[in-house]
Amino acid sequence: MKNILIFLLLFLIIPFKYGYSQEEAKKNSILTDKFQFNVGIIIPSKTVKIGADVSSPSDNIDFGKTFNFNDNEITPYVKFDWLFAKKWKLSAEFFTITNANKAELKEDIIWDNVTFKKGSFVRGGFGYNMCRIYVGRVFSQGFKHEFGGGLGVHALNTYAFIEGNIEINENESRFEKRNVRSLIPLPNIGVWYYYTPNIKWAMIAKIDWFAINIDEYSAGLWDISVGIKYQIFKNFGMGIDYKYFDVNLGVNKSSWKGNIDMRFHGPLFTIHANF
């Protein structure tokens, strides 16, 4: 983590130290181009706690610790931005995380009204797809900066399962697999800010937030990223961001009654095309 923060700090200092004075008369393409397409990978550290038919969030199962998930899984990432009018943007963003593993339980766990006993070997896993659609307006724009905000929706498609043998009595057991799944749309408000010291470098920041308590859901969401982009050629560049995503959900549906507490954070490496 320390090395990543130092790396980001150096990226922020370099543009000011080594400018491109012969190109100062031009705006950075991030402020002018209509289309920007980003693909990359996130290497997140994650905490995933999920409960099914539990009495409180404190009863949630920590899937990462219980099933020894890989904490540095490489995750694909895609983002598309369209400046469809002078001051209006449409953005779409997608990433997905999946994990599954088998482990010997260190304590009893209760999942979807089934108890898996301490010492038994069970397999557990979860999957998480996040699709973000966002429409925003530019409120302030100058030669080297842009500030805007708008409304969007995070569509969270989440599932989890645990499978293994459960005891029926002292002499008998049976195999059980219990799944829960839910597609949860969360509207949000958000803002972004770009600073471009020259046409090669751009520093960006984005914050999305949401909280609600309605019939089937109670939810809170933070989606934050800060980073820097470097324009290698006119229509091609690369970037590095630090991304933080935190969502807390209470679900009360026939397919899933429980809680979700997920937190992901880590570096995001991208290449982008703009035109």
DSSP state of 33: -
Report the pLDDT value the prediction gives residue 132, as an integer from 0 to 100.
Answer: 94
Domains and CATH numbers, the chain: 2-274 (2.40.128.100)
Report the pLDDT value the prediction gives residue 244, as an integer from 0 to 100.
Answer: 95
Report the pLDDT value the prediction gives residue 216, as an integer from 0 to 100.
Answer: 72
% helix / strand / coil in the chain, to the nearest 5?
10, 70, 20
Report the pLDDT value the prediction gives residue 236, as an integer from 0 to 100.
Answer: 96
Give CA–CA dist 202/232, Å, rounded: 12
Using alpha carbons, select from 104, 225, 118 the residue that is nearest to residue 167. Answer: 118
Report the pLDDT value the prediction gives residue 153, as an integer from 0 to 100.
Answer: 92
CB atoms within 10 A of CB 26: 12
Report the pLDDT value the prediction gives residue 255, as an integer from 0 to 100.
Answer: 65
- In the chain, which residue ranges form alpha helices assigned H by DSSP? 2-17, 63-66
Give CA–CA dist 217/105, Å, rounded: 30
Q: What are the pLDDT tens digits along the chain (275 aa)?
A: 554 444 445 544 544 444 444 444 589 999 999 999 999 999 988 888 888 876 555 678 998 889 988 767 788 999 999 999 999 999 999 998 888 999 999 998 888 888 888 898 999 998 889 999 999 999 999 999 999 999 999 998 988 999 998 877 667 788 999 888 888 888 899 999 999 999 999 999 999 998 877 777 778 899 999 999 999 998 999 999 999 999 888 877 766 777 888 898 999 999 999 99
